[in-house]
Amino acid sequence: MPALLEDPLSPLVYRVSGEGPFATADNPQIPSSIFPRTVTLRDRVTIATLIPFFTPDDVPKRLLAYLGDNLNKEIDGGDTYPMMDQMPVEAFGKYWFGNFGAVMILGDIGGVEAVTEMEEAGADWNKLCLGSFYVKPNYPGRSSHVCNGGFLVTPAARNKGVGKSMGQCYLEWAPQLNYTYSVFNLVYETNTASTKIWDSLGFKRIGRVPGCGKLKSFQDPVDAIIYGRDLKAEGELVGNEERFDKIRYYLRHSSYPQGADRSEKSRLRSAATHYKLIPSEDGEPEKLMLKDKEVISDPQAQYDIAKQMHLVNHGGINKTTAMIATKYHWVRIKETVSHVIKDCEPCKVPTNKGGTSRSDSTKRVKSADKTPPEPSDSPMIPQNQAQQIETPPYDPLAASAPYLRPIFRLTSTTAWTQASAWAVML
């Protein structure tokens, strides 16, 4: 990973490793499988289109300036990007769209030509442009088949699911550009809007950079998370939040979400026999139930529940997972609990090497006299019992087919590229 951020005035880095064909400045090698992609936002009603751009020259000038201005505002905000100096629009165009970029436009848009026509007709990009992302190599040369991405959500589009939709599209398009792995170099842990998205889309926290961000809104330096994801991985259940949102919509309105195809409609009808929706009352939010368990689709809510359960007695992974599974349902509860325990300071004990280890670690070191380890304060849960408890209730949607295949991120060979992973996502 480069030690310094990329100078936006430096030559572009193109992918030259992995499978061909390889793009160049003269020939961007546009895959026929990448074309405008229509998405439905979080309200299940609003339609938007992700338009791919393979060169900055194709992006209308006012639209390019609007996106560049939004990036500079984030830089000035001092909480999401590491850069301190604003980027001129000419440099922004090459930096953001030099390899591959996409822009999300409100409505069902035909393609680049349609965006150009909107620009010429005086389109108000403040209202119509929802966000943008890019894909580019994270490293040069022999490792350039590893990519990263930058994401930007415009102010009018916050809290509408735009960031999540762009992330899903990133996961779909990056492999079609022949990238095999994605790295987000620097996501400040205080940027919870971003971390929620990447955690929910199957990215793994592969590293942490302690105290690397001296941000404007925080007195003490902030840690950054390094995310990674195999773009060829199959079978990961991503899009659970959107899947449950569709079930809620169907149960609430007795109609299908806009854009649902025949197979999706069939899965929703099947789900209606297993799920029920409890309306909000007395200030309590609406609840989606699977049998007698509340469905929790929001990754942050999952983490908060797991933390609450763990803090009852600082139980280990199996015990905490079992407690959660008696009342709640979500996919990979055990993985959420693992994150909570890793973040729990009281569960860390100092080691003789100056580091820390888990107080609930399952590893046992046998001494020379073979003294058995001291018993745990809490009783062990038999393995077969734990497995029964952790088995989630039958989920007809997951059983038939996952709603979404992985479709999503982040930054380039040098420091300026890494800004992408830090982009504001909601």
pLDDT in tens, 272-319: 888 999 988 877 888 999 988 999 987 778 888 999 999 999 999 999
Flag residues of the chain having pLDDT under 70. 1-9, 233-242, 259, 349-426
Residue 417: per-residue pLDDT: 41
Tell me the three state secondary structure of residue 226: strand
Residue 270: per-residue pLDDT: 80
Residue 394: per-residue pLDDT: 53
**Dihedral sign from CA coordinates of 166, 172, 177, 178:** positive
Superfamily of domain 37-236+406-422: Gcn5-related N-acetyltransferase (GNAT) (3.40.630.30)
Specify the DSSP element, H or E, that contains 67: helix 61-77
Contact 148, 418 (CB under 8 A): yes
Residue 7: per-residue pLDDT: 60
Residue 134: per-residue pLDDT: 97
Burial-class residue 190 by CB neighbours within 10 Å (0-12, 13-18, 19+): middle
Contacts of 319 (CB under 8 A, 6+ apart): 313, 378, 381
Q: Classify domain 241-361+377-400 by CATH architecture.
A: Orthogonal Bundle (1.10)
Distance CA 303, CA 154 (A): 27
Residue 240: per-residue pLDDT: 61
- Which of these, 89, 99, 169, 193, lies nearest to 423 by C-alpha position? 193
**Domain residue limits, the chain:** 37-236+406-422, 241-361+377-400
Apex 199 CA angle, 338 and 185, nearest 5? 105
Same fold, 37-236+406-422 and 241-361+377-400: no
Distance CA 31, CA 54 (A): 10
3-state helix, strand, coil in the chain (%, to 5): 35, 20, 45
Predicted TM-score (pTM) of this structure: 0.63
Residue 363: per-residue pLDDT: 41
